[in-house]
Amino acid sequence: MALNISAVIPHYNQQYCLAKCISSLLEQDVNFNKILIIDDGSNNIKSLKFLSSYNQLYFVKNKVNMGRGFCRNLAINEITEPFIFFLDASNIVKKEYVKTALSHFINDKVAAVSGLIQNNSINDSFASKWRGRHLFKENHKFETQVHDAKSLTTYGTILRRSAVLHVGNFNSALTHSEDKDLGKRLLNAGYKIIGDPNLIVYSIKKDSVLSVLERYWRWYGEEDESMSFYDYLIAIKASIRPMIQQDIMAYDLKSALISFLCPHYGYCRYLFRKFTGKIQKHS
């Protein structure tokens, strides 16, 4: 299935894994018209000089960190090809990934196709193991067949540009949950989001305890970041069972500590952002 497609890699201070991410794109079984790198205000631009050795890369740098919604909105406006592959800088995919995903767009109502995410085998820290267990849910029994998904993720996803523009593009004001927000609008407009369990994205990010706590909060904080005291209590309950329970069953006491901290970090994060006026708002 020959379709015009370009790729986008947004990143912020992820120079250490960017080269591997780009290589996984260049090894795909399809040719990208463009590969757009969006640097979201990284601190050390000098370490990105290696990008000049790639002829087909296009580079955009934000003067300051603008957030995920802004970068993805920018990409949809910059790229004119009908299909756009978004791949996070901390992720890699096998060479047949894009070709397989494109095959699902034979249906005009399909707006997005994505797969599962797992740890790359080189990630063996306890923070990465916790991430695989509780964020990527590597032990969960997902559907084994191609199916209609109920939400949108963009860590390794092909989007139909016309559908994204039809529902108003990514919300540039959102620094996280921009994919969930767009997904809701796509589904409400009658489009389909396809999940293919045969498509695997591998994370090569070097996570720490603090970064996985932040990542957990961003994944589950929702667009308005609201967290009532009742929500906080429910989150504490969930951190004990199943999260800490799963960590103990895996004889992973270090991960159990992260699970214990999750609800408290999330609630404190919400209170801090609320009282400092930093709660993200829809524009």
Annotate 264-279 with DSSP letters as a single string: HHHHHHHHHHHHTT--
> Are both 150 and 38 inside the same structural domain?
yes
Pick from 203, 224, 251: which residue ends a domain?
Answer: 203
Total of domains in the chain = 2
Pick from 203, 228, 254: which residue ends a domain?
Answer: 203
pLDDT at 45: 64
Q: Per-residue pLDDT for 252 more than 90?
A: yes
**Is residue 25 a contact partner of residue 32, using CB atoms and an 8 Å limit?**
yes
Euclidean distance between CA atoms 60 and 64, whole angstroms: 12
The H or E element spanning position 16 is: helix 15-26
> Are both 46 and 186 inside the same structural domain?
yes
Q: Which pLDDT tens digit goes with each residue over 113-149?
A: 999 999 987 777 889 999 999 999 998 888 889 999 9
Identify the domain containing residue 114 by its residue range.
5-203
Question: Buried b vs exposed e over 193-204: b needs ≥16 C-beta within 10 Å?
Answer: bbbbeebebbbb
64 burial via Cβ count (<10 Å: 0-12, 13-18, 19+): exposed
Euclidean distance between CA atoms 136 and 134, whole angstroms: 6
Q: How far is CA 65 from CA 43, 126, 178, 195, 223, in A?
A: 10, 29, 15, 31, 18
**Is residue 33 a contact partner of residue 4, using CB atoms and an 8 Å limit?**
yes
Q: Residue 7: beta bridge partners? A: 35, 85
pLDDT at 236: 97
**Is residue 60 a contact partner of residue 38, using CB atoms and an 8 Å limit?**
yes
What number of other Cβ atoms are within 10 A of residue 167's Cβ?
Answer: 17
Record the pTM: 0.93
> Distance from first CA to last CA of the chain, Å, rounded?
38
> Are both 12 and 66 inside the same structural domain?
yes
pLDDT at 279: 85
Q: Which pLDDT tens digit goes with each residue over 202-248?
A: 999 888 999 999 999 988 878 888 899 999 999 999 999 999 999 99
> Are both 77 and 195 inside the same structural domain?
yes
Q: Which pLDDT tens digit goes with each residue over 88-116?
A: 999 999 999 999 999 999 999 999 999 99
pLDDT at 110: 98
Look up residue 191 and give its two tokens: 């489009």
Closest alpha carbon to 15 in 62, 49, 48, 57: 48
Domain assignment present for 108: yes
> Are both 38 and 141 inside the same structural domain?
yes
